[in-house]
Chains A and B, each alone.
Chain A
Amino acid sequence: MRKTRWPGTLIAGSALLLVFTAIAIAAPAFGNPLHQNLLSGLTPSGLPLGLSWAHPLGTDALGRSELARLAYGIRTSMIVAVVSNVTSIAVGAAVGLAAGFFRGPVEAVLMRITDVGLALPYTLAALVIAGLMTAGLTRVIVIITALFWAYPARLVYGEVLRLRHRGFVESAEAMGASGTSIVARHLAPHMFPLLVTYSPLNAASAVVFEATLSYLGAGINPPTASLGNMISDGQSALSYAPHLLLVPAVAILLITMSFLLLGEGLKARNPDLKRVSWLGR
C-alpha cells in the first residue's frame, strides 16, 4: 500500500488552528477585555499606549488591554468559523441533495432559489438582514448562513447529478428503496469528501465576512470584542496608534491563512477535488 503523504500545508494549517483554538479557549487568561484602565492605560494626554512590558500589545483608546481584546476577538472569530461553517454547509447540502435527487419541480424551484442566493449583492444583503436583528454572535451566524449556503448547494447538486445514474443508486432504486433512504444512505456519504474539503475554505470566508460585518457595525458590536470592531475602533487613531489596526489585522490574516492552508492541504490529498474553489472575499 502507498504510504499516506501529509502535505506541509495541511500540517502547518492544522498546527496554526490548534494554536488559535487554544487561545480561543484560554481567552480569559489574557486579561479582562472590558476593563478600562483610564489612569495607567493611557498616556498623560489620553492617547492609547504603544507596546510595552506592562501592556504587551498596548492599549486601545479606552485604555483597555489590546492583548485581552485580541484573545476574545480570536475567540469570536473561531466560534463564528466553526458554527456558521456547519450551519451554512448543512443547509446547502440539504438543498443540493434534494434538488439533485428529486429533479422535476423540486429541482427547478430549489436551483432558481440558489441562483437568487448567488446573485444577491452580499454586503448589501447582509446589511439589510442585520437591520432585522440585535447585534451579537447569533446575528452574524444567521447572516453568514443566509448568504453562504448557496455555493455548497451548487457543489452538492453537481455532485449528485454526477452520481445520480451510477449503478449503486439505480440498484437501490430497483430494490425498492425509498427516495429519502437513497439520499440519506447512498448519496449523502458520497458528499463527505467534497464537503470536508470545502469546509476550511468556507470557514476562511466566514472569518473574513464576520470581520467585515463587525467593521461595518452590522455584526458584533462593542464592547464585545471582535477582530472587525477592534479595527473599526482603532481606525480613528490610525495616524498615531497604528497598532490598533495592525494587531487585529495580523490575527485575521493568520486565522484565515491557517484555514486556507488546511483547505489546500486537503485538496492536495484529493486531486479530483481540485475544482472546489473559494467563494468569499
Chain B
Amino acid sequence: MARTLIRRIAFGVIAILGVAVLAFLLEFVVPGDPARAIAPRAQSAAVLENIRIQLHLNRPLIVQFADYFGELFRGNLGTSYVQRQSVTSLIMPRLATTGWLALAGVVAEVIIGGALGVLSTLYARVRAVVAAVNLTLLSLPQFVVGLVLLLIFGFRLHLAPVTGGAGPAEIVLPALTLGLVGAPWYAQIVADQMADSLASPYVRTAVAKGLPDRYILWRHVLRNVLSPAITMIGMDLGAYLSGVVTVEVVFGWPGIGLLAVDSLQNLDRPVVMGTVIVGAVAVVAFNLIADVLRMYVDPRTREEPA
C-alpha cells in the first residue's frame, strides 16, 4: 500500500510540474504585451521598456523560466503584474470562496444523485422517469442549467438574487447547478453498486437470516456504494476547486475561475500561472486523498493496481 501511494504521489507531482511548464510556455506564445496591458495609455516607448525591465520581461525566455520555477520550488508564486500584490494573497481568498461553492455543489450532487439512484433501484415504476431525468441532465452544459435556474428562480419567481456575489443567498443557485449537472454520475454509481449488492450472496444470507429490509439496505447494500462514491467525490472536489469557470461566470461568483478569466484578459501572467498550478494541485491532491480514503473504507482496493 505504501508503495502504491509513493508511486501515485510521484506521478502526481510530475503531472503538476508538466501542467506548470505547459502553462508557462503557452503564456509566452499568447500574443499581447503585458507592459501595454499595464499601461494602456503610455505614450513613450521608454515607459513601456521600464515596465518590461521591472518585470524582467526583457530577459531571455530561459532565464525567466529558471527564475519562475526557482521561486516556485520555494513556494513563491510571484507578484501580480496588475494588482501589485503577491499572487498567493490574491488566490487564497478566491480559493476559499470557490471552496465553499465546490463543497456545496458536491453535497447537492450527492443528495440529488443518491436519491435518483436509490429511487430507480427500489421502485421499478420510476426507473424510466429517473433514466429520462439522468439523460436530460447529462445532455446539458453547466452554463445552460445555470441560466435556466437563474431565469426561473431569479427573474420569474424572484426567489434568488440575480446580481452576483458570494453569500449564503447567492450560493444556492450555483450549488444547485453543480448538483444537477453532477447528479446523473452519482445516480449511475449508486444504481450499479446497489444492483451488484442486491444480487450478492451476502445479501441473500442476510435476507435468509431474517434481518429487516431497512437494516440490510443501510448496513449491507448502501455501504458498498461508499467506495466508488468517494472516488467520484474526490474527482469532483478537485475539478471544482480548479475553477468552476462557467458557473462562476454565469452567477458572478467571485472565485478562482473568475479571477483566472480576468487575469487572462489582463495578460497578468503570474496570476494565470498561479490559478493553473493551484488548480492542478487541487485535482491531483483530491484524487489522492480519495484513493487513500477508499483504501481505508474498502479493504479490497488496498491491493496493488494491476
Which residues on A are within 8 Å of B, measured CB to CB? 112-113, 115-116, 118-121, 123-125, 127-129, 131-132, 204, 208-209, 211-212, 215-216, 228, 231, 235, 238-239, 242, 245-246, 249, 252-254, 256-257, 260-261, 278, 281
Contacts and interface: CB of A to CB of B under 8 A. Distances in A.
Contacts of B31: 131-132
B99 interface: no
Interface string B202-216: 000000000000000
Contacts of A215: 141, 143, 246
Interface string B254-289: 000100110010000000100110011001100000
A42 to B, nearest CB: 21
A125 B30 CA distance: 12
A12 to B, nearest CB: 11
B155 A238 contact: yes
Interface string B148-187: 1011000100000000000000000000000001100000
Given A211-B144, A235-B147, A257-B135, A120 B264 contact: no
A184 B148 CA distance: 48
Contacts, number: 134
A127 B267 CA distance: 12
A128 B151 contact: no
A121 B135 contact: no
A238 B143 contact: no
Interface centre among A116, A119, A278, by most chain B C-beta atoms within 10 angstroms, is A119
Given A128-B30, A211-B141, A212-B246, A112 B18 contact: yes
B138 interface: yes
The 7 closest A-B pairs by CB, nearest first: A116-B18, A121-B279, A121-B242, A256-B139, A123-B245, A257-B139, A131-B30
B142 interface: yes
B243 interface: yes
Contacts of A249: 140, 144, 147-148
Contacts of B89: none
A221 to B, nearest CB: 15
Given A112-B14, A124-B242, A124-B260, A281 B142 contact: yes
A241 B14 CA distance: 49
Contact of B279 (A124, A231, A252): A124
B2 interface: no
Interface string B20-59: 0011001101111000000000000000000000000000
B230 interface: no
Nearest to A126: B245
Contacts of A127: 245, 260-261, 264
Contacts of B144: 211, 231, 245, 249, 252-253
Contact of B136 (A228, A231, A257, A281): A257
Contacts of B135: 257, 260-261
Given A212-B143, A249-B140, A256-B140, 16 more contacts: A115-B11, A116-B15, A119-B16, A119-B19, A121-B275, A124-B275, A124-B276, A125-B276, A127-B260, A128-B272, A208-B139, A211-B144, A215-B143, A216-B246, A246-B148, A252-B140
Contact of A124 (B15, B150, B243): B243
B249 interface: yes
Interface centre among A118, A120, A121, A216 (most CB of B within 10 A): A121
Nearest to B144: A249
A278 B188 CA distance: 12
A42 B12 CA distance: 55
Nearest to B273: A128
B134 to A, nearest CB: 10
Contact of A119 (B246, B260, B283): B283
Contacts of B249: 216
A249 B150 CA distance: 14
A132 B29 contact: yes
Contacts of A112: 11, 14-15, 18
Contacts of B245: 123-124, 127, 216
Contacts of A113: 18
A253 B136 contact: yes
13 contacts: A115-B15, A116-B15, A119-B18, A119-B284, A121-B243, A121-B280, A128-B272, A208-B141, A215-B246, A238-B155, A249-B140, A253-B140, A253-B144
A256 B272 CA distance: 31
A132 B148 CA distance: 32
Contacts of B243: 121, 123-124
